[in-house]
Structure 1
Amino acid sequence: MIRAVLTAAVLMLLAACAPVTQLAGKPDVTFQGPRLEEHAFVSFDGARLGLSEWDPATGEPWAVVIGLHGMNDYANAFHLAGEQWAQDGITTIAYDQRGFGRSPARGVWGGQDLMAEDLRTITALARQRYPHAIIAVAGESMGAAVAIDAFSSDRPPAADRLVLVSPAVWGWSSQPWPNSAALWLTAHIDGPLVMNPPRFLENHILASDNIDELRHMGRDPLMIWGARTDTLYGLVDLMQTAWEKAGQTSIPALYLAGKHDQIIPLHSHFEAARKLRPDDRSALYPNGWHLLLVDKQAGVVWRDIEGYIRDPAARLASHTPPIPGAPTPAEKPTVQATR
């Protein structure tokens, strides 16, 4: 009996030490509402999040891509794709999600609710600024998980297209139990503890085959290397949500993965892709890694995404086969579109 009481007390104490998550701000009476500035996205609560934008040289864009970066990254994740899409008449608006890049409280987990609300807010702002353009949300890794969470909610963002690039779907249900147990304990006992990847992992696990880009990222002071245990806990929570809700988004989605992904296990991609609906699309790139937007064959992915934004029902330009187990909807032939 005494052992049972002590065990219960310890568990209650650990549960009370909840992982730290950012809270919504409380803007003062001078707050003029959310808006897009040159280098900042002012969100619904007055938080100033870093912003990067790539625009066509002339004329109004026919499409706008809202970019959501991955874990420890920031808006610059879209710099190569954004430059190419701008040449094709597409505006790319990417922002630093809470806790990352130029945004406040670097390293502290933003929380699913706040991150989803930021996405709803910036999508509405893009719709207001570009009323005649196709509005697409493209999330990479963690950003794709945020998008799945938001688009499967009862208040989905007001976008026309959804693109999921290497979505982070490696949640609790597919984590090895020692990982889950250790992460739960460290996040609840010592939230601010920063974990850095072991050197042997850095040398043997690659996010992309584009080594020059990886080196550039490694020298970028806005990147975060290492992560707080409570942030990792929040990330796995988000990945579990994305894994569970894949196929439940309010609009059809394009799910892209690379056969050489060393960050998210392929079995997690396969399990999530099996939940997709018949009107969702998918592709497994045989030469793709995790960071599909910067891989050596990234141009193939950019063109597929652009084609999907133009016409979700058309065959992908690369003719890349779908993810095994995913639905294979009837496709219509690719048509060369004109603007």
Structure 2
Amino acid sequence: MTGSSPSPEPPVQPQSQDSPDRAHQAFTETWQPGVDGLNFYTRTYAARTTTPRAVILFVHGYAEYIAEYDWLHSRYAASGITVFAFDQRGFGYTALEARGHEGKRSKNSRYAVTSWKEQLIDIEWWLQYVTKTHPGLPVFLMGPSMGGALSLAFVTRKSEPPTQESVSLVSGVVATSPFLRQTQPIPRILSYVLKLMSVLFPRIVFPLPADTDDYTHDDAVNEHIANDPFCMQKGTFKHVHDMLTGGEDLIRTSYQQWPEHIPVLIVHGTGDKIASCEGAQEFYEKLPAIDKTFFPIPDAYHELAREVGGVKETLVEQCITWILGRVKVTVPDEPST
């Protein structure tokens, strides 16, 4: 299945015992061209306080799309934090035709066809956009899994992409379950084959099966993800190679290039069977950042924003507290009506 597939209907999120009330969500959606003219699907969750305090530029994870994070982003908005999110190049509505958005997707956009270089350029583009559309507000990069790794990588680059001028626009980074290292690394021979294929056939899409039981402790959520037409477990040789080597590079060498003045929060489930919690902690301990926080959640799996047992509530409360603790807040505002 590729971008030429029939238009799937955006799925309804599963309801479970821990599902939050979704009735008060509000966002605006737009289609906007990126740096190379590719059309991106975007959402803005405006702060629901009279005085916005900060902006989050949200970078979603692999085989995900921003509609999955409605509740999370609505919670940030209710706390005075605006969220701008976009379906990344190769994923979500940006790559697949969705009902109600016919004709919006760029004709050359294909599912899973992307690379770290392109994604970092895209982040830079939207960071500059958010800075211009929300002048004076601190901007925090935030992302889960692949998006967390990309957010961390963004500020360690000393050459394009991105530019140092763009890195200076970042007030902080929040990475949740960042995909820096696999919990169970693939064999070396497969790693070598993947590297070779990424050079010979970089844009070829191939199946990338995952054990859905490893997402959360909630079977209903796991089943929903497995059957979601916008969460196909497929990848290109180039992008998968980039993900596996990019995170490892952060742990081994690129951490040294972290600007010490940029604060960072890493939240990780200790039971994560996809992204190594130990790898994330190793990266954290090496970071030269003056202000850094590592917040482990005992036994939690990979999808923290949809995990049960109070995990997603703990996640959002920790992120809100951390972000607002790094912006100038005086008298709290009441939600606007």
TM-score range, shorter chain: 0.7 to 0.9
RMSD value, Cα: 2.7
Deviation of the 1:228 alpha carbon: 3.0
1:303 counterpart residue number: 317
1:95 equivalenced with 2:92 (yes/no): no
Distance in structure 2 (CA, Å) of the matches to 1:284 and 1:50 = 32
Q: 2:57 aligns with which of 62, 66, 76?
A: 66
- Aligned counterpart, 2:306: 294
Q: Would you say 1:136 and 2:140 are equivalent positions?
A: yes
Of the candidates 183, 187, 194, which is equivalent to residue 176 of structure 1? 187
How many angstroms does 1:267 deviate by?
A: 3.1
Amino acid at match of 1:248: Q
Match of 1:255 in 2: 266
Superposed, 1:1-339 pairs within 5 Å as 38-57=29-48, 59-104=50-95, 105-154=109-158, 155=164, 156=167, 158-170=169-181, 176-188=187-199, 191=202, 192=204, 194-197=206-209, 202=211, 205-243=213-251, 244-246=253-255, 248-250=257-259, 251-277=262-288, 278-296=290-308, 297-312=311-326, 338-339=332-333
* Aligned equivalents of 1:75, 1:93: Cα separation in 2: 10
Q: Which ranges of structure 1 fall in alignment gaps of 5 or more residues?
A: 1-36, 314-334
Q: How much has 1:248 moved relative to structure 2? A: 3.5
- In 1: Cα distance, 2:90 partner to 2:263 partner: 29
Equivalent position amino acid for 1:137 in 2: L
Q: CA deviation at 1:227?
A: 2.2
Q: Displacement, 1:94?
A: 1.1
Report the residue type matching 1:180 in the other structure.
S
Q: Is the 8 A contact 2:269 2:304 kept in 1?
A: yes
> Aligned partners of 1:59 and 1:214: how far apart in 2?
38
Given residue 304 of structure 1, which amino acid in structure 2 is its aligned partner?
Answer: Q
Q: Matched residues in 1 for 2:214 and 2:176: separation?
A: 17
How many residues are matched? Answer: 276
Residues 194, 237 of structure 2: 8 Å contact kept: yes
Q: Percent identity?
A: 20
Contact 1:71 1:141 in 2 (8 A): yes
Letter in 2 for 1:311: G
TM-score computed with the length of structure 1 as normaliser: 0.73
Quote the Cα distance in structure 1 between the aligned partners of 2:231 and 2:281: 29
Is 1:146–1:242's contact at 8 Å kept on the other side of the alignment? Answer: no
Q: Counterpart of 1:202 in structure 2: which amino acid?
A: D
Alignment deviations for residues 36-85 of structure 1 (CA, whole Å, 9 cap, x no partner): x9322422222211212222346352221111111111223432210111
TM-score using structure 2 length: 0.73
| Offset of residue 337 of structure 1 | 7.1
Cα distance change on mapping 1:202 and 1:112 into 2, 3 Å: closer
Counterpart CA distance in 2 for 1:107 and 1:157 is 32
| Mapped partners of 2:75, 2:151: distance in 1 | 23
Distance 2:60 2:256 in 1: 21
Residue identity matched to 1:239: G
Distance of aligned partners of 1:292 and 1:275 in 2 relative to their CA distance in 1, 3 Å threshold: same
Uncovered stretches (5+) of structure 2, i.e. residues with no partner: 1-27, 96-108, 159-163
Q: Which has the higher contact order (CA 8 A, sep 6+)?
A: 2
